[in-house]
Structure 1
Amino acid sequence: MLKTKNNAEIGSSIDINAVQTIRRIALVALGIIGFVVLLFTNSAWRNTADSGMDETIESIGLVLMAIAIVGRTWCSLYIAGRKKQLIVEDGPYSVCRNPLYVFSFIGAAGAGAQFGAISTAILVCTITIVVFAIVTHKEEQFLRDKFGRVYEAYCERVPRFIPNFRLWRPVPTLEIQTSLVTRTFLDACLFLAAYPVAEGIEWLQDTHCIPVYLLLP
């Protein structure tokens, strides 16, 4: 299931913890900016002949967020507590090098869809992809420094984000760190916060507490 370089104790010039901290700060900052912008926008589908369309988009978004929560939890079964020590090459990591991030993209799209517009789903997902792409580049530098040719071979065989299911490789047993898996599950559940936030903004707009300056398709 797991491979490591014989001299894996070799250090890396990349501070992986700092990279993850930057990722969190960037996502929080972008989330705050996005919230402020969405306060004054609304779905173009509302109050039209196709008013049910916004509800359909929101429902699809809920499904996407559920997929993200289940998917991220599933991935954590394989990698939680091992990311810095070993190269995980089985299960979801046999078809994609960053399945946790892929499920985050799906969850971000679902969160954006809670505002009843396809454009917000695409925008939120795109921003998340850009942030994680930068983080992934730094993480890959860290892993190359630490594992060398072993990691290079893994990169040559397995795609970064787009899964290749023909590469699927199961593992007969897993040693699970329940506390880390639970934390990943709870973190993933934060996607669901988009639902009450979007509903609250819609209520404020419907009661004319805040104005709407832009309608989004």
Structure 2
Amino acid sequence: MAAAARSPSEKSFDEMGRYQRHRRILLALLIGAFCTLLVFGGSLHDELAHERIEAHGIVLILVGIGGRLWSILYIGGRKSAEVVATGPYSVMRNPLYFFSTIAAAGIGTQTGSVIVAMASAALCAAAFYVVTLREERHLITVLGAPYKDYIARVPRFFPNPRLFRDQAEVTFTPRIFNHTLIDGLAFLISIPFFELVESGQEAGVIPVLFWLY
């Protein structure tokens, strides 16, 4: 018996799902490569400044995780089915990527380096920029004029708080929310990871090949 033909919306959902998987793989490879390089870097800051930078970074990571969860409550599973333009999506078109970039900056601060934090955010933003261009082409094809109007009104990445508007209630898919939560908590792994690196450097087990400000 032949399988039932899939609807255009189902095909579109699958295609967007592939985009999202590619995005997660790209982000994981980027962060993994960057962290591997930073294993051999040391901070030029004194201990107090180093600890303060790390503490600020933890705040950035938590903001990033919270922002991602806030965003997924509004968009979960509907990105290629309709134009979502409320909550975080009313002030920017890609809040998931925006908050992921904030979290990436927080990961960078765990090295005790302001430069690394800025570089982490810049690399992450650049990677997401490439992904968003591809996604936008796809969504214009799928959603048409309503999405073009949305693009004309709402900035791609940097939020415009004056555009904020909300709705009385939202519905979400627990599976997608939980998956985003797990993804977000992975950012927290950077905290014990770099603490172990620092301990290894202090013990002389891990060589410091370059210094970072």
CA deviations 1:61-93 (Å, max 9, x no partner) are 000011111111111111111112111011111
Among 147, 154, 163, the residue aligned to 1:151: 147
What letter matches 1:29 in structure 2? L
| Aligned-pair CA distance for 1:15 | 3.6
| Aligned-pair CA distance for 1:137 | 0.6
Among 81, 85, 88, the residue aligned to 1:89: 85
Among 126, 133, 137, the residue aligned to 1:141: 137
Q: Once structures 1 and 2 are overlaid, which stretch shifts more, 68-77 or 179-188?
A: 179-188
- Alignment of 1:198 with 2:194, yes or no, is yes
How many residue pairs were aligned?
A: 205
RMSD of the alignment, in Å?
Answer: 1.8
SS at match of 1:116: coil
TM-score (norm 2): 0.90
- Alignment of 1:177 with 2:173, yes or no, is yes
User: How far apart in 1 are the matches of 2:31 and 2:100?
Assistant: 14
User: How far apart in 1 are the matches of 2:30 and 2:150?
Assistant: 32
SS at match of 1:151: helix
What letter matches 2:176 in structure 1? L
User: How far apart in 2 are the matches of 1:79 and 1:201?
Assistant: 37
Q: Which residue of 1 aligns with 2:19?
A: 19
Q: Which residue of 2 aligns with 1:78?
A: 74
Q: Which residue of 1 aligns with 2:4?
A: none
Distance 1:24 1:11, change over 3 A: closer
Distance 1:178 1:25, change over 3 A: closer
* Equivalent residue runs for 1:1-217 within 5 Å: 9=9, 15-45=15-45, 50-217=46-213
| Aligned-pair CA distance for 1:150 | 1.0
Q: Structure 1 stretches of 5 or more lacking a match?
A: 1-7
What letter matches 2:110 in structure 1? Q
Q: Structure 2 stretches of 5 or more lacking a match?
A: 1-7
| Aligned-pair CA distance for 1:198 | 0.5
SS at match of 1:215: strand
Distance 1:116 1:10, change over 3 A: closer
| Aligned-pair CA distance for 1:184 | 1.1
TM-score (norm 1): 0.89
| Aligned-pair CA distance for 1:9 | 4.9
8 Å contact 2:88–2:164 — kept in the other structure?
yes
